[in-house]
Structure 1
Amino acid sequence: MPTNDVPRDSDLSEERNTLFDYTDTIFADEDLLEIGHLPAPERIVGRDEHMQKVADALNPAIFGSAPSHLFVFGKTGTGKTLISRSVTEMLQTEADREGVTVQYAFIDCGEKNTEASVVKRVAQSLNDPERTEFTVPERGLATGDYYERLWTVLDTCTDVAIVILDEIDMLEDDEVLRKLSRASENRRIDSARIGVIGISNKIDYPDQMSERVKSSFSRDELVFPPYDANQLGEILENRRDAFHDGVLTDDAIPLAAALAAQEHGDARKAIDILRNAGRIAKRVDEETVTEDHIRQAKEKTEVDRLAELIDGSPLQAKVLLYALTKLTTNNDGVEFTSREIYHAYTRTAAAIDLDALSERRTRELLQEQDFLNVIDSTKESRGRGEGVTGKHRLLESPDIVLEVLLRDDRLEPLEE
């Protein structure tokens, strides 16, 4: 028989582990500050015109007709993905009132970048196994077999499917665009219709598409400009209820918006700053989020963002960025030509016994870093018949870029 000294299960369940904090005096609902959070339409700021243009492209789907395909361009944090998803979800509601079934599949092409993986994920997202009487397995089928299942899923489970391809420029093969856009014409599907929304930071992505796709994939195009400080401030105000009443000081949101607007007008960055400021205040057991917390959060946000972009880069790209960072630190200017950066890069590579790449290849690496928003690259004409010169500058403080780069042990000898 158990003694009275042995705790019962009910007693154990009521005990609290002292390692954890069970109160949160800063955040009321921190999920509102997550990047993936989809706000209600009335909370979306500064994008009325863009929402209308996306809605115009998708509008035929309300009546079961094929929507227009759409490419959406803009820098990171300008609302491209938010608007595409939000309008598509509103479309579903309106179509349902007309007795039309609209479904959508959201694909991150940074993760699913092959033709087979995209088709598989679309089919998995839209499939209702009770109606199709099959599943879409993770592996084991050829690409053609995944297409066959997708066509059946579309005709069985939906009237109109919207396929949102985020970071579409990361696709290894754009053939999936041709097949999706011509599925009805080629009688792959009978009653269903498909619309594609491609989202990219690269406005020149259409120039890189294969000729077969260019000739068959007709679409509208829409460019999202950066947010200004006032718009960023309004976006953050609409997330104020992530915090308990009275936690944010009067200058917290205006400062976070102003700091984010100084660079790219990036709403993601503004939201990250506000969330990190709250976490900093919570960690040091403060009751309010102040201007000082915002400034600390900005630096943390920059480091986190750069780390995400740079950590996975090859060593050669890091050495090239290191060279540009040192040029920026040691010179009065902030913008340098491709040739200047290349000479600094070759010296840096030699210092760690790394074989230097060709100048042409380093120009390609600089273009990749421009695409990632690590640097800003421009082209300047040298005069009639003289061609153009590429110029490049860091988009973050050299100290912050250096801090992230030196996390790679292979670059440590450069600071000795």
Structure 2
Amino acid sequence: MLLEFDEQEGLIRDRSLIDPNHVVAEDRIVGRDRQLQEVTKMLRVALGDNRPPNLFLYGPSGTGKSLITKAVCKNISRICESRDIRFGTVEVNCQDIDTLGVGVYELACRAADEAGVEVEVPKHGVATKEKWDELFRIVNENFDSVVFVLDELDMLVGRRDKQEPAFSRLLYQLSRAGANDELTAYLSVVAISNDTKMMESVGSRALSSFTPEDVHFDDYDANQLQAILRRRRDAFHEDVLDDDVIPLAAAFAAQTHGDARKAIDLMRVAGELAERQGDERVREQHVRAAQDKVEKNRVLEVVRGISQQKKLCLYATAAVAEQTEDGTARSTTGYKVYQFLTESIDADQYHQETYVNKMKEMTTYSLVDFERRSHGPSSGMFLEFQFGERPATILETLREDSRIEVAASDEVQSVVTAQLRNET
């Protein structure tokens, strides 16, 4: 069977072009001319064997922050090599790093990989200072200039008993080492975050030593997303994409904050679905099927890792949003549904302030966003939540949790209807 499939000519010619994490050539980067120019101008000083400034790249997920950083560093590395300058890029995604010590060790490992050497301290059983010393040893011995790319840096919170988050302490140590005599190599940091307010949580000491240049990335619109996909259509064999495939994939991605990763993922999944079904072309129905699959996969990935209480808060709020015309949910209404939900499954019930805080935390997963609103003197202030994915998809996914499934969906729906009637 494997050989039979191997002999079939598929629809996809180059899968790397429809991999959202693949670093494409500069001529395939669309709609980010200003940001590409700014990052290039600031990092290019490494070509003269000088220290580039620290950067803070911020904006919604999938708007080109990581892509542009990687593309620019890749070009700098190629030119530096021809000039006998030892330039390195040490990239770490902080999403799955839980403490400062683990973060420093991960940086040491990535620096060692880049240099082709071994890390000489263990991951566990040594003080964080020893890990810092090892990181700086690797950098000093193997590089003239190095750029640390800290992706999703705001996710590195660390231990809750610390006065400032771990990402603040990481920035302080890296930027201070770059300014002092601990390093002979030039060191600069590119901090990347979806959270536009991340720098407000950085401690004063770290802020004064880090002092980054800011580069803002805004949402892609549907036209820009179409241009991005057209630059990658040669991932497919000639004349296998229907004309409406790219506009539809771009339109779906534009609905969720203009996420280019989602647009590229949609085109990839649509192509794979068409291949599996033995179709000769990628059509509109494949994109629509891919949209359902990508949405559900993304939500599944997120909700698997969140606590039971966050699931209950998210379910209650999504149940409200599903029944409103604009797909939004007031925090006051969501909390009433949350109360009913916790009572019906006999779960612990938190105060409204805790419910609101847990929903705010969900913004870090790009599932929801919120605005502070008031609909007149009689309504008071409340938060209005907007969902990045269809509320129905979130509800369907959450109901795969056996404890939430106990709550009858029609009863929850009735409570939502009654509460929405009370709003007016």
The one-letter code matched in structure 1 to 2:299 is L
Q: Quick one: which of 97, 106, 124 aligns to 2:91?
A: 106
Distance 2:407 2:59 in 1: 36
- Residues 108 and 138, structure 2, Cα contact 8 Å, conserved in 1: yes
Q: Quick one: which of 228, 231, 234 aligns to 2:227?
A: 234
- Residues 123 and 136, structure 1, Cα contact 8 Å, conserved in 2: no
Give the C-alpha shift of residue 261 in structure 1.
Answer: 1.4
Task: Provide the aligned length of Structure 1 versus Structure 2.
Answer: 399
Give the C-alpha shift of residue 128 in structure 1.
Answer: 7.4
Distance 1:47 1:64 in 2: 27
Give the C-alpha shift of residue 376 in structure 1.
Answer: 2.2
1:95 matched to 2:88? The reply is no
Bigger-Rg structure (1/2): 1
Secondary structure at the aligned position of 1:264 is classed as coil
Q: Quick one: which of 247, 253, 268 aligns to 1:254?
A: 247
- CA deviations 1:71-124 (Å, max 9, x no partner) are 111111101110111111112223334432210111010123422222222222
Give the C-alpha shift of residue 338 in structure 1.
Answer: 1.6
The TM-score with structure 1 as length reference comes to 0.89
Give the C-alpha shift of residue 387 in structure 1.
Answer: 8.3
- CA deviations 1:317-366 (Å, max 9, x no partner) are 11112112222334555323222211111111111100111211111111
Secondary structure at the aligned position of 1:35 is classed as coil
| Percent of residue pairs bearing the same amino acid type | 35
| Residue equivalent to 1:155 | 140
Evaluate the alpha carbon distance shift between residue 398 and residue 152 of structure 1 in structure 2; reply closer, same or farther with a 3 A threshold: closer
Give the C-alpha shift of residue 218 in structure 1.
Answer: 0.9
Distance 1:98 1:26 in 2: 42
Distance 2:373 2:89 in 1: 43
| Residue equivalent to 1:36 | 21
Give the C-alpha shift of residue 211 in structure 1.
Answer: 2.7
Give the C-alpha shift of residue 136 in structure 1.
Answer: 4.8
Q: Quick one: which of 169, 173, 184 aligns to 1:175?
A: 169
1:344 matched to 2:329? The reply is no
- Residues 168 and 200, structure 1, Cα contact 8 Å, conserved in 2: yes
- Residues 124 and 136, structure 1, Cα contact 8 Å, conserved in 2: no
- Residues 131 and 156, structure 1, Cα contact 8 Å, conserved in 2: no
- Residues 108 and 119, structure 2, Cα contact 8 Å, conserved in 1: no
Secondary structure at the aligned position of 1:25 is classed as coil
Distance 2:171 2:199 in 1: 12
| Residue equivalent to 2:130 | 145
Distance 1:236 1:333 in 2: 29
Distance 1:185 1:330 in 2: 55
| Residue equivalent to 1:72 | 57
Unaligned ranges ≥5, structure 1: 1-15
Distance 1:287 1:54 in 2: 42
Secondary structure at the aligned position of 1:254 is classed as helix
Q: Answer with 224-233 or 392-401: which moved more.
A: 392-401
Moved runs in structure 1, 4+ residues, more than 6 A? 128-134
1:285 matched to 2:270? The reply is no
Evaluate the alpha carbon distance shift between residue 391 and residue 17 of structure 1 in structure 2; reply closer, same or farther with a 3 A threshold: closer
Give the C-alpha shift of residue 19 in structure 1.
Answer: 8.4
Give the C-alpha shift of residue 44 in structure 1.
Answer: 0.8
**Aligned runs of 1:325-336 on 2, under 5 Å?**
325-332=318-325, 334-336=327-329
Evaluate the alpha carbon distance shift between residue 238 and residue 352 of structure 1 in structure 2; reply closer, same or farther with a 3 A threshold: same
| Residue equivalent to 2:69 | 84
| Residue equivalent to 2:417 | none
**Aligned runs of 1:9-408 on 2, under 5 Å?**
21-127=6-112, 135-171=120-156, 172=158, 173=166, 174-189=168-183, 191-332=184-325, 334-380=327-373, 388-408=381-401
Evaluate the alpha carbon distance shift between residue 133 and residue 282 of structure 1 in structure 2; reply closer, same or farther with a 3 A threshold: closer
Distance 1:39 1:396 in 2: 27
The one-letter code matched in structure 1 to 2:56 is F
- Residues 115 and 142, structure 2, Cα contact 8 Å, conserved in 1: no
Secondary structure at the aligned position of 1:379 is classed as strand
- Residues 72 and 223, structure 1, Cα contact 8 Å, conserved in 2: yes
Q: Answer with 17-26 or 297-306: which moved more.
A: 17-26
Distance 1:336 1:102 in 2: 49
Evaluate the alpha carbon distance shift between residue 33 and residue 133 of structure 1 in structure 2; reply closer, same or farther with a 3 A threshold: closer
Give the C-alpha shift of residue 60 in structure 1.
Answer: 2.2
Give the C-alpha shift of residue 383 in structure 1.
Answer: 8.2
Distance 1:231 1:87 in 2: 20
Unaligned ranges ≥5, structure 2: 159-165, 410-424
Give the C-alpha shift of residue 276 in structure 1.
Answer: 1.0
- CA deviations 1:297-323 (Å, max 9, x no partner) are 111111111112222111111111211
- Residues 63 and 258, structure 2, Cα contact 8 Å, conserved in 1: yes
- Residues 11 and 275, structure 2, Cα contact 8 Å, conserved in 1: yes
Evaluate the alpha carbon distance shift between residue 411 and residue 93 of structure 1 in structure 2; reply closer, same or farther with a 3 A threshold: same
- Residues 132 and 152, structure 1, Cα contact 8 Å, conserved in 2: no
Evaluate the alpha carbon distance shift between residue 83 and residue 129 of structure 1 in structure 2; reply closer, same or farther with a 3 A threshold: closer
